[in-house]
């Protein structure tokens, strides 16, 4: 506590004022006490950290291994720098001992999430590349509030210097002129990336749908990308970054406005070059002007996701009426309506374009229960069906029409009001000897309603809500049904 000396006591009168000497002496006392408090806080933290078993007793090599395991468990998260602090930075803040171990653990610095609004971004990039010590790295460039080429020209040399180490590249640009990110593609034109496995580029439009009279073409990475397996493009044309595609297995084409699409023959040639493609996801038609009788063969396609554009009057993509996929096993349909199913079923009466589909995902589809007969006609061999929202029509069709005799599992995500409908479907199929083996339901489901289903395996689904729906469904629904792909 501060001592009140005699000089202080004598200054209690109404007109008394402290002298300059007194104030300076008092400030010195306070500064000394602050230093003492800082030392005591430091000692208290050291005492607290010494009680943490990892920090006090484990060898640095063991700590390093544990930290890398923590980082691996964090790998499935889609990192937002503003909302999710990287695990390596959190671990480094625990104690000086942990910080020292974290800094020399190169595996913790291989996921570089760069956002232009962070403080000292260039130092951030340099630190990650240096601390990862030559190991393969995943780089995410989130170009929020981009200030044009003047900013990118400072970032590019740093990234390009380590291009041979890139394992994945993610570029996200928000509401900025697309001219600002094209220098990235042009810098990649004649380069090679021997370790690159995935490219993910998202462009979010501002006021204009497309800022150019004609789309820009750029042949990137012509030096070679022998390990490239996955390309995800959102709001940007494939021709804009056209890399070598011979080994590609996963292709997402999302947010393709009319100016970004390929001609039918051009798209047909593209698919013909993708002899290894197993996963395709499209929003909007990737091509235009489908000719009568046209057909595009996908010889190795195993998983297809297809959805309409998020506008009221948008048509469902015509692609599935002009494609043949002889080994397709899983079809994920988003926001389709009765007429879309009827059109497909009409085509499949004369052409077995999808003869091996066994898993069907209906995601937010508005389909009348009578239309499910057309679905069963189009895909008679369904063994696993998933329905997200609007489940009542499907439950009625499975209950009354007993569709798909070989149906094995049903996965559902619905509102509380569908409990009774789902239970009635399961009980009815048991009574009529068309029982399903497994039912996957949301946590709100009341299992006591399944009075006649003693042999039914009921499992509650807990997909992480922070994931985009397609990624969550692929991990929890599609992947388990296709073990050969994983």
Structure pTM? 0.77
With cut-offs at 50, 70 and 90, classify the pLDDT of residue 256.
Answer: low
Of 16-20, 363-367, 470-474, the range with the highest mean pLDDT is 363-367
Instruction: Using the predicted structure, report yes or no on whether residue 206 has a pLDDT greater than 60.
Output: no
Instruction: Using the predicted structure, report yes or no on whether residue 7 has a pLDDT greater than 60.
Output: no
Determine contact, residues 384/411, Cβ cutoff 8 Å.
Answer: yes
* Alpha-helix residue ranges (DSSP H) falling in 108-222: 121-131, 149-160, 182-187
H/E segment holding residue 68: helix 60-73
With cut-offs at 50, 70 and 90, classify the pLDDT of residue 79.
Answer: very low
Report pLDDT digits (tens) over 365-384.
888 888 888 888 888 889 99
Rounded distance between C-alpha atoms, residue 318 and residue 322, angstroms: 7
Top-confidence residue, 219 or 168: 168
Residue-level pLDDT at 189: 80
Of 69-83, 115-129, 199-213, 268-282, the range with the highest mean pLDDT is 268-282
Instruction: Using the predicted structure, report yes or no on whether residue 311 has a pLDDT greater than 60.
Output: no
- Region 167-180: what's the mean pLDDT? 70
Instruction: Using the predicted structure, report yes or no on whether residue 234 has a pLDDT greater than 90.
Output: no
Residue-level pLDDT at 476: 54
Top-confidence residue, 61 or 349: 61
Instruction: Using the predicted structure, report yes or no on whether residue 209 has a pLDDT greater than 50.
Output: no
Instruction: Using the predicted structure, report yes or no on whether residue 76 has a pLDDT greater than 70.
Output: no
- Region 353-357: what's the mean pLDDT? 89
Instruction: Using the predicted structure, report yes or no on whether residue 118 has a pLDDT greater than 80.
Output: no
Residue-level pLDDT at 137: 93
Instruction: Using the predicted structure, report yes or no on whether residue 388 has a pLDDT greater than 80.
Output: yes
Residue-level pLDDT at 390: 83
Mean pLDDT of the chain: 77
**Which residues are bridge partners to 305 per DSSP?**
281, 332
Residue-level pLDDT at 165: 94
Residue-level pLDDT at 80: 43
Of 126-130, 189-193, 455-459, the range with the highest mean pLDDT is 126-130
Residue-level pLDDT at 262: 78
Instruction: Using the predicted structure, report yes or no on whether residue 462 has a pLDDT greater than 80.
Output: no
Report pLDDT digits (tens) over 423-449.
888 888 888 888 888 888 888 787 778
Residue-level pLDDT at 471: 57
Rounded distance between C-alpha atoms, residue 322 and residue 451, angstroms: 45
Instruction: Using the predicted structure, report yes or no on whether residue 207 has a pLDDT greater than 50.
Output: no
Residue 250 tokens read as 């996963």
With cut-offs at 50, 70 and 90, classify the pLDDT of residue 174.
Answer: low
- Among 122-131, 256-265, 409-418, 435-444, the range scoring the smallest mean pLDDT is 256-265
Determine contact, residues 216/183, Cβ cutoff 8 Å.
Answer: no
H/E segment holding residue 385: strand 384-388
For the chain, how big is the Rg over CA atoms in Å? 30
Residue-level pLDDT at 477: 55
For residue 84, the number of C-alpha atoms closer than 13 Å in the C-beta half-sphere is 12
Rounded distance between C-alpha atoms, residue 329 and residue 379, angstroms: 11
């Amino acid at each position: 506590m501060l001592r009140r000396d005699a000089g202080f006591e004598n200054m209690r009168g109404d007109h008394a004022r402290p002298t300059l000497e007194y104030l300076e002496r008092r400030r010195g006392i306070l500064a000394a006490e602050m230093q003492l408090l800082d030392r005591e806080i430091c000692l208290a933290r050291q005492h607290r950290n010494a009680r943490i078993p990892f920090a006090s007793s484990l060898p640095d090599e063991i700590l390093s291994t544990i930290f890398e395991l923590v980082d691996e468990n964090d790998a499935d998260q889609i990192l937002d720098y503003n909302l999710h602090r990287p695990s390596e930075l959190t671990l480094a803040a625990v104690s000086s001992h942990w910080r020292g171990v974290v800094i020399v653990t190169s595996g913790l610095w291989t996921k570089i999430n760069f956002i232009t609004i962070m403080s000292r971004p260039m130092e951030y990039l340099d630190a990650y590349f240096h601390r990862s010590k030559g190991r393969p790295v995943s780089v995410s460039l989130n170009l929020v509030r981009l200030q044009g080429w003047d900013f990118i020209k400072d970032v590019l040399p740093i990234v390009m210097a380590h291009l041979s180490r890139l394992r994945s590249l993610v570029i996200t640009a928000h509401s900025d002129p697309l001219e600002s990110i094209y220098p990235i593609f042009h810098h990649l034109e004649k380069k090679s990336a021997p370790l690159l496995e995935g490219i993910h580029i998202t462009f979010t439009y501002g006021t204009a749908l497309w800022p150019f009279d004609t789309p820009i073409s750029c042949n990137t990475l012509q030096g070679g990308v022998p390990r490239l397996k996955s390309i995800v493009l959102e709001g940007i044309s494939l021709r804009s970054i056209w890399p070598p595609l011979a080994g590609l297995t996963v292709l997402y084409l999302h947010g393709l406005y009319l100016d970004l699409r390929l001609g039918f023959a051009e798209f047909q040639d593209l698919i013909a070059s993708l002899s290894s493609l197993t996963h395709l996801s499209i929003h909007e038609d990737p091509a235009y002007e489908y000719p009568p009788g046209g057909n595009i063969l996908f010889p190795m396609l195993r998983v297809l996701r297809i959805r309409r554009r998020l506008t009221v009057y948008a048509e469902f993509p015509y692609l599935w009426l002009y494609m043949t996929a002889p080994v397709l096993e899983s079809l994920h349909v988003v926001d389709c309506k009765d007429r879309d199913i009827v059109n497909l079923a009409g085509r499949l009466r004369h052409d077995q374009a999808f003869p091996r589909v066994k898993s069907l995902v209906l995601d937010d589809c508005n389909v009348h229960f009578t239309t499910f007969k057309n679905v069963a006609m189009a895909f008679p061999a369904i063994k696993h069906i998933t329905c997200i929202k609007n489940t009542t029509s499907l439950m009625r069709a499975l209950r009354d029409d007993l569709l798909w005799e070989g149906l094995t599992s049903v996965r559902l995500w619905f509102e509380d009001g569908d409990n009774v409908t789902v239970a009635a479907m399961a009980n009815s199929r048991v009574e009529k000897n068309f029982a399903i083996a497994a039912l996957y339901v949301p946590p709100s489901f009341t299992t006591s309603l399944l009075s006649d289903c003693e042999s039914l395996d009921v499992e509650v689904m807990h997909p992480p809500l922070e994931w985009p729906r397609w990624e969550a469904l692929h991990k929890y629904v599609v992947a388990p049904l296709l073990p050969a792909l994983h």
